[in-house]
Chains A and B, each alone.
Chain A
Amino acid sequence: MIFAKIHAEQADSIIAQRYKVKAFPTFVVTESNGDEIDRIIGYLDPEPFLAKVNDYREGIGTLADLLSKAESSEDRNLFFEIADKYKFSGSSDDAKIWFQKVIDAGDPKDSLSAESRFSVADMFRRNKDYNAAIQEFENIKADFAAASYQEEADIWIAIAYRQMGDTTASIQKFEEFIVNYPESEDKEYAENQVKRLKGEITEEE
């Protein structure tokens, strides 16, 4: 097994683009010719990390393996796992299809459906389709009354406005968030965002 640490924004940035890496850290397991076997998103402790890499090398838990299992299954968690793999490998269209399967195979108002809807909205945001992302977060707010979903959607709406460069709307949404969710663990983040967007503090502070 060969191991390489690849800086995604320096000399090997084109390699990161080739493998459609959109989150960090991402560990891509490949054949010797560079063909992807599968990937791990985020840090794992050494033992589970090695176990997962070794599973992938044997074809266990890979996208191909999960797709094969899904042929004779109605397991929504399996569908979600497949959708997530497509999402983080940059295959947004396939990811949307499988997130929709999660919703269609169960209660469209349960937590797994909500999580699927959030994932689709997050894909729009990551793909810089901010209007679509904001619209989907608004749709989630309309469809899921629980306070936790309202809060999560609202902070992402504020972030999406900031990322699309609409400073006025972003400040407004962050300020609304601070008022509406005074107990939120994201309140301090929102307050800092308002100060930064108003130019009261710089990036480094």
Chain B
Amino acid sequence: MRLIYGTLITLIVVLLAASCGQKAEPTAELLNGFIYTNFADASAAAEASGKQIVLDFYTDW
């Protein structure tokens, strides 16, 4: 079950990164597999963990 869950998370990360035009490799390596999609959640996670943040600003055009 844990293996399936882990595989699913990895797949979602890769799909999300690819769909946004961002290369998956650096993001996956940086985060060990998770991408936040809004500032509030990322900021809260960073404050709680003391980790630094990479904010990837993009637009649709």
Contacts and interface: CB of A to CB of B under 8 A. Distances in A.
Interface stretch (A10-18, A62-70, A154-162, A175-183): A10-18
Most chain A CB neighbours (cut-off 10 Å) among B20, B26, B45, B54? B54
Contact of A3 (B36, B38, B47, B49): B36
A82 interface: no
A85 B27 CA distance: 23
A49 B39 contact: no
Interface string B19-61: 0101101110111001111110111011101111111111110
B58 A3 contact: no
Nearest to A1: B30
Interface residues of B, number: 34
B58 A24 contact: yes
Interface residues of A, number: 34
A33 B47 contact: yes
A4 B50 contact: no
B57 A8 contact: yes
A165 interface: no
B36 A32 contact: no
B39 A27 contact: no
Contact of A53 (B30, B34, B60): B30
A204 interface: no
Interface of B: 16, 20, 22-23, 25-27, 29-31, 34-39, 41-43, 45-47, 49-60
